[in-house]
Structure 1
Amino acid sequence: MYPCERRSELLDKLTIGISAYNNWPGLKLTLQKLVEVGLGDVKMVIVDDGSKKPIDFDLSEFPMDIVFKRYEESRGCVFQRNNIGSMVETDYYLSIDDDAYPVNGDICDVIESMEKDLDISVMALDVRGPKDSFELHVDAYELREVRYFVLCGCLIRTDHFKKSGGFQNPDELGWIYNEELDYSIRCWRDGHKIVLDRRFVLVHDRELVDGEDSYKSNCYARGLGYLHGRYFTGAVSLYKFLKMPFMLALSCRTRPFWLSSLGAFIKSYRVGVEHRTRDSRIFRGKDLWKWDRLDLPPFA
């Protein structure tokens, strides 16, 4: 445990950001868990993205410094995460979902590692399911560079975030988009790093809903289609493009899912190619191979 003065100094550099939507029991549990692990004094920004019912508990129940903002109509998670990022005035922004909460470790360890390496843009954290063990991983103290992160549990360097323009949300793709992967690619292109730190463990307690397989496969296909069209070119990108139908066929359980996902991939790839002309800083084949060799985070 850090001395009180050092811990207070590190936590003063942190803001927790949560985009909430139709999950007030989950948000209440998350706030309870944050207090239990000693993060009750940390600044917090919560945005209600047009939930069908207003918040059903009193935030003043929690002894926390909370800024709460409600939108009457949903603008989507990408918009709201950028909205939260624009309101953060501290050095670091801990992004969690309204159904994700810490169960082990000390976020101060993660902050201190980012303080020592200014090239780290995002620390991907150890995100697990509710039925997993909460013990620290055997390699928890071995930090390593990874391809991307997930916004349900990560620590973002705020100045990098604001200079980069935040998360991209191409209008043509709607709200279903892999903004984390896009941000990771841009960070890597600009000489920054995404690093996995498993010393802080969170649980993402997400309930399954009908049609989730279709939703997830379409989201996956749409995001990768745009990213490969937007950032990559050359023979390697063509190889990835031709390989995608087979990857989607393996990941989709039924033929309709596969056809829908393939259509989403092709449409988004075309949008990405159109957007590529706006920026000459694209990856060549050799760059894609380098990026592909980075480790996948454990929650992939």
Structure 2
Amino acid sequence: MQAKKKFSILITTKNRKDDLVFTLLKINSLLSREDVECIICDDGSEDGTTDFIEANYPKILLIRNEKSKGLIYSRNRLLSLVSSEYAISIDDDLHFITQNPLEIIEEAFDKNPKIALLGFRVFWNLKEPQITYSEEHSHRMKSFVGCGHVWRMKAWREIPNYPDWFVFYGEEDFASYQLFKRNWEIHYLPEVLVNHRVDIKGRKKNADYTIRLRRSLRSGWYLYFLFYPIRHIPRRLFYTIWIQLKTKVFKGDFKALKALILALFDVVISIPKIIKNANRLSLKEFENYQNLEETKLYWNPKEKAKT
């Protein structure tokens, strides 16, 4: 009888076979461990991703959406298959730099039973950093970054699934509010460094700039209406609109204007879902949540720990 795994590595991918191939090579030492399983969701790829995994990684549990269902739907599907104690979620263009990360992860969870989720120290660049040392220390924070984190599955099972109607963006904050309501904590784990192979500055030039901005804006607004005390919503909503107008539209970025209008339309047609899924924080809960450390999204080798 096969021993129960302790760690599950979850990867969602779509039409990025080359990135996935590189990632799998980088984490091969983890995949070969007896206490680790890997589950990949191919979200409707048309570049031979499924054939490659089946031919080269028979031990990986592969699931496939014949038609693309989106990142959040795929993450829910992956998490529903996990039977291990911890689920490590990484993007198909991300790999570990830290050696023996699993031992560090397990130790962090063991030290604090209130931790539901650990967020990794993420270096966003096409190449690995030349300097990996950091003086940062683990601490509690508001939310987490989706590209590299690990769930204590006991906590995941206590909250609703990610909202797949968001499609892309916002699921991390959705989970963070739900966890906060149930007295679970999210912590930053700088001891585990990962390389997210993304050119941040180049993203604005990508063909999907408008749709990414649209989804980013609407997910933020969905979260306001789902979780914020009603009195705080109008000011924050109008402020985000003004910032987009001031920093982008008034400077000639009409793609941003299109994204803004479409995002507002998305919110209007999603009102029934918002009403159904609302789990609003009380004024006191909202105050306590806002007092938490901001989410650590990016790490720079030149940064020093805050005192």
Which of the five TM-score ranges fits, normalised by the shorter chain? Answer: 0.7 to 0.9
Determine whether 1:50 maps to 2:44.
yes
**Residues 222 and 274 of structure 2 are in contact (CA less than 8 Å); yes or no, is this contact kept in structure 1?**
no
Q: Which moved more, 1:250-259 or 1:211-220?
A: 250-259
Q: In the superposition, relative to structure 1, how do residues 59 and 254 fare at CA in structure 2: closer, same or farther (>3 Å)?
A: farther
Corresponding position: 1:180 with 2:172: yes
Cα distance change on mapping 1:292 and 1:19 into 2, 3 Å: same
- 5, 8, 16: which one aligns with 2:9: 16
CA deviation map 1:171-196 (0-9, x unaligned): xx5x2341111111111122111111
User: Would you say 1:138 and 2:129 are equivalent positions?
Assistant: no
Q: Which amino acid aligns with 2:190?
A: R
Q: Counterpart of 1:5?
A: none
User: How does the TM-score come out when normalised to structure 2?
Assistant: 0.82
Contact kept? 1:125, 1:201, Cα under 8 Å = yes
RMSD: 2.7
Task: Give me the whole-angstrom Cα distance separating, in 2, the residues matched to 1:280 and 1:59.
Answer: 41
Which residues of 2 match residues 266-281 of structure 1 at below 5 A? Answer: 266-270=264-268, 274-275=272-273, 277-278=275-276, 281=279
1:217 is displaced (CA, Å) by 2.1
How far apart, CA to CA, are the structure 2 residues paired with 1:251 and 1:30?
A: 36
Question: How many equivalent pairs are there?
Answer: 285
Q: Does 1:33 align with 2:26?
A: yes
Q: Distance in 1 between matches of 2:212 and 2:74?
A: 20
> Are 2:235 and 1:239 equivalent residues in the alignment?
yes
1:146-165: CA deviations, max 9, x gaps? 12112210001112212323
Of all paired residues, the percent bearing the same amino acid is: 19
Preserved contact between residue 44 and residue 66 of structure 2 (Cα < 8 Å): yes
Deviations 1:112-146 (A, max 9, x none): 21123222111011111234626445334x21111
Kept in 2, the 8 Å contact 1:123–1:155? The answer is yes
Asked if 1:111 is matched to 2:103, the reply is no
Q: Quickly say closer, same or farther: Cα 1:58–1:39, change in 2 above 3 A.
A: closer
What is the CA-CA distance between 1:67 and the residue it aligns to? 0.7
**Cα deviation, residue 270, structure 1:** 4.2
Asked if structure 1 preserves the Cα contact closer than 8 Å seen for 2:155 and 2:184, the reply is no
Counterpart secondary structure, 2:12? strand
What is the deviation of 1:197? 0.3
The equivalent residue for 2:261 is 263
CA distance in 1, matches of 2:253, 2:283: 32
CA separation of 1:132/1:289 partners in 2, compared to 1, >3 Å: closer, same or farther?
A: farther
1:1-300 equivalence runs, <5 A: 12-36=5-29, 38-41=30-33, 42-55=36-49, 57=52, 61=56, 65-105=59-99, 106-129=101-124, 130-131=126-127, 133=129, 135-140=131-136, 142-170=137-165, 173=166, 175-206=167-198, 208=203, 210-249=206-245, 252=248, 254-270=252-268, 274-275=272-273, 277-278=275-276, 281-299=279-297
Shift of 1:227: 0.5
Q: Secondary structure at the match of 1:164?
A: coil
- Residue 34 of structure 1 deviates from its aligned partner by 0.6
Taking a change above 3 Å as real, the CA distance of residues 205 and 73 of structure 1, as seen in their structure-2 partners, is same
**Unpaired segments ≥5 residues, structure 2:** 299-307
**Which ranges in structure 1 are unaligned for 5 or more consecutive residues?**
1-8
> Which amino acid in 1 is paired with 2:93?
D
Using the TM superposition, give the Cα deviation of residue 267 of structure 1 relative to its aligned residue in structure 2, in angstroms: 3.6
Mapped partners of 1:48, 1:22: distance in 2? 8
Instruction: Note closer, same or farther for the CA distance 1:245–1:159 as it changes in structure 2 (3 Å cut).
Output: same
**Residues 121 and 189 in structure 2, CA contact (< 8 A), matched pair in contact too:** yes
The letter of the residue matching 1:287 is E
Please report how far the alpha carbon of residue 101 of structure 1 lies from its aligned counterpart in structure 2 after TM superposition.
Answer: 0.6
Indicate conservation of the 8 Å contact 1:227/1:272, yes or no: no
Deviation at 1:236, TM superposition (A): 2.2
Contact 2:225–2:278 (CA under 8 A) maintained in structure 1: no
The SS at the match of 2:188 is strand
